[in-house]
Structure 1
Amino acid sequence: MVSLPNASSLKVAAVVGFYMSAALVMVFVNKAVLNTSPDLPLLFLFIQLLIAVALLHISALASTKIQLPKIDPTVAKKLIPVVSINIIGLVFNTLCLRDVEASFFQIARGLQLPLTILVSSVNTRSTPSRKVMGAAVIVTCGFFLGVAPSKSVPVMAAPSLISLCYGFLSSLFIAFHAVLIKSSLPHCNNSTIELAWWTNAGSAVMLFPFVILKGEPWRLEELIQSSEWTGNVFMWGCLVTGLFGFLLCVAGLLSIKVTSPITHMFSSAARSVLQTLLGVWIFNDLLTVYAIFFL
């Protein structure tokens, strides 16, 4: 008699599948918008965060099972580290995606797994197993091979040094964020919904001054008056990524809650294979021998 998987295994599989699906949609819609509006990365991210907060409030009105947190200055202070790390990671993530091809995106920030293992080990003061260390070494070698110059890649398609820096910083801050989530959940009654609200609302508040300082609202006004700008892509992209950003935030928190930061990054690494192949298919990105080795 074949034994059926237990409820816990099914729960983990469902959460990881949910996260991977939402993440894939986010990457490719984000890339489509950033291709048409490269001057509006912070404003684009800010609108996504606002939509995610609005969807959380709509969800709370639609169902009594969804409880949003009350604004508590004491809780807000305790969550400043996780919210700050989150928005910094999102900004570098967006800038990296804007400046590299979709198929190269995961490679450009491919140190996410080994950095998460390092940060988690330091945080828990534990030594990872040999298998985990071996996986980290393979991924790290793949990263350096993946970003190595290749004669088969045109100069215009090759990633710049600054885009690789964005990718590295994105990986670093996402690693910190994944580890901080576990310690932040108790401040939110162990509720992923409450932490999602604090994360999105707090990130929007922190990001808003930089959106203004960078002058992106006025740049948007100039683009609207231009006949060459494809405004529909930006508008629909904001709506779609706002929805999937909301789903991705909840999915990522659930994934880390039911598994661990390191397991969560392994599922993210597995998603990169599909992401790279879809990037080649959708955006006609180049796939080099080094990139295939990284996969």
Structure 2
Amino acid sequence: MDARPSAWIIAAVVTFYMSAALVMVFVNKAVLNSTPDLPLLFLFIQLIIAVVLLHAGALLTPKIEVPPLDLHTAKKLTPVVLINIVGLVFNMLCLRDVEASFFQIARGLVLPLTISASSIATRSRPSISVSFAATIVTIGFFVGVAPEHTLPTASVPSGLSLFYGFLSSLFIAIHAVLIKSSLPFCSNSTIQLAYWTNAGSAFFLVPFILITGEPGNLLALVSDPKWHMSTLFWGSLITGVFGFLLCVAGLLSIKVTSPITHMFSSAMRSVIQTLLGVCIFHDVLTTNRLISLATILGGTMYYTWLKSNQPPAQSQRPQADQEALDNGDREPKVGWQAPDLDEGLNGKN
């Protein structure tokens, strides 16, 4: 049995992931506010920048290895790539249509969906305690998005944006479950999987960019004297770099912890994200959303307490006792399948 990563390594990886994700959310939001008609093209540029950075890194250090492009591996990784790009698109559309502080709706259903997907894949059930912690966090999310008469019209999310959030949550959960079974096809290298994910996602995104007519939208914006190309340029560059970091950070987070632990760290980040949304974009922070923050923190702290009190020598326990522990948070069994990004890359933040 492999040695578990130290607490310091896990803390460093989770902090790295949270920092990169926060930068991605707010820079993405700033660019989408100025260019709302180019979400897929903006995402495509981010993916290409990440691929270029991987090639540049491979030239600078042997630790970054760009995998050879072969059809056999591409076929094996097609499911994780497709799930990744669908999740990214819905994540981007949700972020475009809601306030940054409200973007936590994209994570509101990730926890129960990830637990469900993990349970199906491993043919096991999560413990009652873990299910209860996930329920607390999920309730916190829904309290924050409950209808309020005091909210200005501009702050009320549309039904379509909530649907984007649900689909984003669904595909992020599936993607998180598929990651670990995809790593063996990339020599268990998160860097190689990041390369395949970004390059493949960019490839599959091209026809949708053409179908939605975004190249024409870009030409129209370029001819508009009131539009500043610098916003798209610098936004793409910054999110491309941090999207690359987020992709690696998300993969590492799931690799050294688990999908469920990864999603709980995402829940904690959503609390910070809400507060920053109020400070940066002057989002409305209502009583419901304050209660939501407290509930999310309570559920996350409870889960952390469960983890800290989990017996380390699980392998010495009987099978029945093993199943009584957090099955969804242990190293998955063989055959566990298909990170996100949120995050995956770029959009899953």
TM-score range, shorter chain: over 0.9
Indicate the residue corresponding to 1:128 in structure 2: 126
Indicate the residue corresponding to 1:3 in structure 2: none
Counterpart pick for 2:25 among 27, 36, 53: 27
Indicate the residue corresponding to 1:239 in structure 2: 237
How far did residue 217 of structure 1 move? 1.3
| Distance (Å, rounded) in 2 between the aligned partners of 1:240 and 1:256 | 24
How far did residue 163 of structure 1 move? 0.2
| Distance (Å, rounded) in 1 between the aligned partners of 2:251 and 2:150 | 39
Is 2:147 aligned against 1:149?
yes
Is 2:110 aligned against 1:112?
yes
Q: Give the unaligned 5+ runs of structure 1.
A: 1-5
Q: What letter matches 1:286 in structure 2?
A: V
Where does 1:1-295 land on structure 2 (aligned, <5 Å)? 8-295=6-293
Report the 3-state secondary structure (helix = DSSP H, G, I; strand = E; otherwise coil) of the residue aligned with 1:171.
helix
How far did residue 244 of structure 1 move? 0.3
Kindly indicate whether the alpha-carbon contact (under 8 Å) linking 1:112 and 1:265 is maintained by their aligned counterparts in 2.
yes
Which has the larger displacement, 77-86 or 105-114? 105-114
Deviation readout 1:169-207 (Å, 9 max, x if unpaired): 001100000010011001100000000000000000000
| Distance (Å, rounded) in 1 between the aligned partners of 2:69 and 2:268 | 37
Report the 3-state secondary structure (helix = DSSP H, G, I; strand = E; otherwise coil) of the residue aligned with 1:156.
helix
How far did residue 66 of structure 1 move? 1.3
Kindly indicate whether the alpha-carbon contact (under 8 Å) linking 1:188 and 1:195 is maintained by their aligned counterparts in 2.
yes
Report the 3-state secondary structure (helix = DSSP H, G, I; strand = E; otherwise coil) of the residue aligned with 1:251.
helix
| Distance (Å, rounded) in 2 between the aligned partners of 1:109 and 1:97 | 12
| Distance (Å, rounded) in 2 between the aligned partners of 1:199 and 1:294 | 34
Alignment length, in residue pairs?
A: 290
Report the 3-state secondary structure (helix = DSSP H, G, I; strand = E; otherwise coil) of the residue aligned with 1:79.
helix
Report the 3-state secondary structure (helix = DSSP H, G, I; strand = E; otherwise coil) of the residue aligned with 2:154.
coil
Q: Give the unaligned 5+ runs of structure 2.
A: 294-349
Change (3 A) 1:116 1:181: same
| Distance (Å, rounded) in 2 between the aligned partners of 1:156 and 1:268 | 26
Q: What letter matches 2:134 in structure 1?
A: A
TM-score by length of 1: 0.96
How far did residue 212 of structure 1 move? 1.0
Q: What letter matches 1:193 in structure 2?
A: I
| Distance (Å, rounded) in 2 between the aligned partners of 1:113 and 1:244 | 24
How far did residue 288 of structure 1 move? 1.5
Kindly indicate whether the alpha-carbon contact (under 8 Å) linking 2:91 and 2:106 is maintained by their aligned counterparts in 1.
no
How far did residue 230 of structure 1 move? 2.5
Change (3 A) 1:61 1:279: same
Indicate the residue corresponding to 2:333 in structure 1: none
How far did residue 143 of structure 1 move? 2.9
Kindly indicate whether the alpha-carbon contact (under 8 Å) linking 2:107 and 2:266 is maintained by their aligned counterparts in 1.
no
Kindly indicate whether the alpha-carbon contact (under 8 Å) linking 1:145 and 1:290 is maintained by their aligned counterparts in 2.
yes
Change (3 A) 1:102 1:82: same
Q: What letter matches 2:16 in structure 1?
A: F
Give the percent of matched residue pairs that are identical in Structure 1 and Structure 2.
Answer: 68
Deviation readout 1:100-131 (Å, 9 max, x if unpaired): 00000013541111111111111111111122
Kindly indicate whether the alpha-carbon contact (under 8 Å) linking 1:109 and 1:164 is maintained by their aligned counterparts in 2.
no
Kindly indicate whether the alpha-carbon contact (under 8 Å) linking 1:111 and 1:139 is maintained by their aligned counterparts in 2.
no
How far did residue 291 of structure 1 move? 1.5
Deviation readout 1:134-177 (Å, 9 max, x if unpaired): 11211222233222210111112100000000001001100000
Which has the larger displacement, 94-103 or 208-217? 208-217
Report the 3-state secondary structure (helix = DSSP H, G, I; strand = E; otherwise coil) of the residue aligned with 2:6.
helix
Q: What letter matches 2:9 in structure 1?
A: K
Kindly indicate whether the alpha-carbon contact (under 8 Å) linking 1:107 and 1:291 is maintained by their aligned counterparts in 2.
no
Kindly indicate whether the alpha-carbon contact (under 8 Å) linking 1:104 and 1:276 is maintained by their aligned counterparts in 2.
yes
Report the 3-state secondary structure (helix = DSSP H, G, I; strand = E; otherwise coil) of the residue aligned with 1:226.
coil
Kindly indicate whether the alpha-carbon contact (under 8 Å) linking 2:104 and 2:141 is maintained by their aligned counterparts in 1.
no
| Distance (Å, rounded) in 2 between the aligned partners of 1:153 and 1:108 | 20
